[in-house]
Amino acid sequence: MKIDKQHIEDTNQKSLDSHRASFGYIANRLTQKGIEVDDVVQKLADFQVAIPSWALGAGGTRFGRFGFQGEPRTLKEKIDDVGAIHALTQTAGAISLHIPWDLPEDYKAIKQLAASHSIVFDAVNSNTFQDPKNAAVSYRYGSLSHTDEAVRQHAVEHNKKVIEIGNELGSKSLTVWLADGASFPGQTNFQTALNQTQKSLREIYITLPGDWRLFIEYKPYEPNFYSTVIQDWGTSFMLANECGEKAFTLVDLGHHLPNTNIEQIVSTLMLKGKLGGFHFNDSKYGDDDLTVGSIKPYALFLIFNALVYGMENNPQNPYPAWMIDASHNIKDPLEDIIQSLEAIQEAYAKALLVDQKLLNDAQQDHDVAMCQEILQEAYRTDVRPLLEKSRLQHGGALHPIKAYRSLQVRKRLIDERGMDSVASGL
Ligand SMILES: [Mn+2]
């Protein structure tokens, strides 16, 4: 399935006058404040977020899974889905594969298909949190941290294989997230587990191609409920430092205990040149699979404020890899991703409006009230016409969800794939 550019243009026609009026108003106001509006619109167009291959079908909970009709059954169909999202939003120009859920068979065909959608391959993700089919070993009690060397070797070899697959596709980074940990006190020795993890990561690290990066993701709990080997950014940062200069910490917004100051973590890592990537999602209590910006949009804005500051002031930090990391239970997965992309772009645009010079002056003067005024002045600006402009300039939809529905994308997917299709890997 492919979305016809002409169809998007036709749906845009109906909203064009309204867009022009609202864009004119905001562009005028921002210009008066000395903001280069074209510059902001260009930055929004440049900001591309990878879509993970596992987010295109319905995920599940521990209690069950309710499938969504027309789910992509193959890697090709997943690429088509990202292509549809990218056509509408012009923000999803990359896909992040999960191995072994998305093993490519014909590399050439897969690359051609992705190129036809203007999609590149972002970080590849290894999976040592479930047992491989017919494997001689089990990850039940851990993978890279396992007490048994045979299991650790198996997990290391899997990661090397993932790098090889990514290399064929043009990926430039490997993301490692480990479920390793313990569910009960006394179950493991913390020091042994950390040492084994360090050794295993180092073995993977030395096989990275020269222009590749290793991202080490952390998470405080789940699936283990007492301890996780790489539980926080400090542990990840330490492991990355011990691996070498091509290893970085990856921050997943949802992988923090409630009320953690994520913008401060991002700032610290960028100052040290070690923020490799960022995963977007949102959460209310513990789970991290909610639509980006659906619960705490102001927190997202504050994180973006730190990211924008880092991108402008920390040349020691490479440009981070951006990815949505969420799984959907009850919404149409594609609509959920479109909503997430909109929330990400909105927070980014608002952060770009923060007057960094004024903020710095207010900080120097210890004018606490003014510091808040400056941040909230940017946050309260309705930036949606800027997002619309950015999409319009690149052939995207003024209103992606409206266009998705009027083009009947889901119906077309169901016609093509059936009511009971299940996304591969889920
Ligand atoms: Mn993640």
The pLDDT tens digits for 323-353 are 999 987 889 999 999 999 999 999 999 999 9
Domain at 5-417, CATH from 3.50.50.60, 3.90.1520.10, 3.20.20.100, 3.20.20.150: 3.20.20.150
pLDDT at residue 286 above 90? no
Q: Where are the domains of the chain?
A: 5-417
pLDDT given at position 171: 98
Q: Ligand 1 center to residue 118 CA distance, Å? A: 24
On the 0-12 / 13-18 / 19+ scale of CB atoms within 10 A, 366 is exposed
**pLDDT tens across 132-176, in order?**
888 899 999 999 999 999 999 999 999 999 999 999 999 999 999
pLDDT given at position 228: 98
Q: Ligand 1 center to residue 348 CA distance, Å? A: 19
**What's the whole-model pTM score?**
0.97
**pLDDT tens across 410-422, in order?**
999 999 999 988 8
Q: Ligand 1 center to residue 279 CA distance, Å? A: 5
More reliable by pLDDT, 319 or 133: 319
Residue 59 pLDDT grade (very low, low, confident, very high; cuts 50, 70, 90): confident
Q: Ligand 1 center to residue 283 CA distance, Å? A: 13
pLDDT at residue 401 above 70? yes
Q: Ligand 1 center to residue 41 CA distance, Å? A: 28
Q: Ligand 1 center to residue 268 CA distance, Å? A: 19
State the average pLDDT for the chain: 96
Q: Ligand 1 center to residue 324 CA distance, Å? A: 8
pLDDT given at position 426: 60
Q: Ligand 1 center to residue 135 CA distance, Å? A: 25
Say which residues have a Cβ less than 8 Å from residue 221's Cβ, sequence separation at least 6: 181, 228, 231, 286
Residue 61 pLDDT grade (very low, low, confident, very high; cuts 50, 70, 90): confident
Which range (63-77, 175-189, 268-282) has the least confidence?
Answer: 63-77
Q: Ligand 1 center to residue 417 CA distance, Å? A: 28
Question: In the predicted model, what is the mean pLDDT of residues 383-391?
Answer: 98
**pLDDT tens across 63-93, in order?**
888 888 999 999 999 999 999 999 999 999 9
